Amino acid sequence: MRFYRWPLALAALLLVIASAFAIACGDDDEDGDGDGGEPTAAATEPAAETPGAGDEIDISDVPELQDGTLTFGSDIAYAPIEFFDENNQPVGLDIDLGNAIGELLGVEVVFENAGFDSLLPSLDAERYDAIMSSMTANDERREVVDFVEYFLAGFGIIVPAGNPQGIEGPDDLCGKVVAVQRGTIQVDFLIGSVDAPGGQDQACKDAGQPGITVREFDTDPEAVQALIAGQADAEMADYPVAAYSAEQSDGALELVETNVDPAPYGIAVRKESTALRDVLQAALDQLIEDGTYAEILEKWNLSDGAIE
């Protein structure tokens, strides 16, 4: 028995000595960096991380998102930006981009369909969290809402095939009947706003030419159908929408190759919804950085409207 106890005792003693030596060396390391100097920052502080693509966006202080949903008001009749497909499902640039934003924020996205001219009053009444509906971020609207800009588009003009009236641009609309969607910026362009009437119609009259007869419709497809039916000489809409309408008309319509007054689309939020505005901007920035934004634009053949 003694024969086996002695080696164990010796081993235990050696272990104690080795441990004491290790502790002493550790104390020396805590006093300096081995050269008698102070510890380096890398040894005492973790490296800072730079926010970028893939970082989680904190929505804990966004009241509108605490129910787990992001509700957009939208007039879903403006292809290819937003429209219903053959299965009555909403599709288009705004739908894909809105869903991508919702995925980044970790919330369910809901698009509620409504007439375009009712969207801003409904947002003010808090029926929606925001508006995503090809809404041009012009100065008049900026007075009542904030915008997160995400696309650039001007006006387009479509005419019957063969362009029988020889319309090449806005100056050629004098004396013509033009179909437009009610409540859009095209109405303001043609006849001015309620507060500032005039527009292209007045410019025609000032030049000694006949004015423009503007026919307003509840939706853009109705305005296009009026043109096809011969109830108008031209139809005006946002350029990508006008181009899509001409493309889908089976040769009945053609696009006038002009892009008038390019301006940004924006996601509209209430002035007091600053936290929501900021997280929407952060999500859009990430989608631009990681390439998702460009992929969505390419899918809908809208890459020319990309914002920087």
pLDDT tens profile 115-127: 999 999 999 999 9
Could you read off the pLDDT of 68-84 as tens digits, one per residue?
A: 999 999 999 999 999 99
For the record, the structure tokens of 134 come out as 């090809």
Confidence of residue 195 (pLDDT cuts 50, 70, 90): confident
Helices (H), the chain: 2-31, 41-44, 93-105, 119-124, 139-142, 185-191, 199-206, 220-228, 239-247, 274-290, 292-299
Comparing C-alpha atoms, which of 69, 37, 93 is closest to residue 238?
A: 93
What residue segments make up the domains of the chain, in order of their start? 63-153+263-305, 155-262
How high is the pLDDT of residue 261?
A: 87
Q: What is the pTM of this model?
A: 0.78
pLDDT at 25 over 80: no
pLDDT at 288 over 60: yes
CATH superfamily of 63-153+263-305: Periplasmic binding protein-like II (3.40.190.10)
Confidence of residue 54 (pLDDT cuts 50, 70, 90): low
Backbone angles phi, psi at 29, to 5 degrees: -65, -35
d(CA 104, CA 285): 11
Confidence of residue 230 (pLDDT cuts 50, 70, 90): very high
Backbone angles phi, psi at 209, to 5 degrees: -110, 165
Q: Is 204 exposed, middle or buried (0-12, 13-18, 19+ CB in 10 A)?
A: buried
Q: What is the 3-state secondary structure (H, E, C) of 212-274?
A: CEEEEECCHHHHHHHHHCCCCCEEEEEHHHHHHHHHCCCCCEEEEEEEEEEEEEEEEEECCCH
pLDDT at 41 over 50: no
CATH architecture of 155-262: 3-Layer(aba) Sandwich (3.40)
How high is the pLDDT of residue 13?
A: 34
- Residue bearing tokens 């080795």: 18
How high is the pLDDT of residue 32?
A: 37
pLDDT at 23 over 60: no
DSSP-assigned letter for residue 284 = H
Return the H-helix or E-strand segment holding 69: strand 69-74
pLDDT at 205 over 90: yes
How high is the pLDDT of residue 35?
A: 37
- Report how far apart, in Å, the C-alpha atoms of 292 and of each of 55, 265, 284, 297 are: 15, 18, 10, 9
Domains 63-153+263-305 and 155-262 share a fold: yes
Half-sphere exposure of 175 (CA within 13 A, CB side): 8
- Mean per-residue pLDDT, 42-55: 41
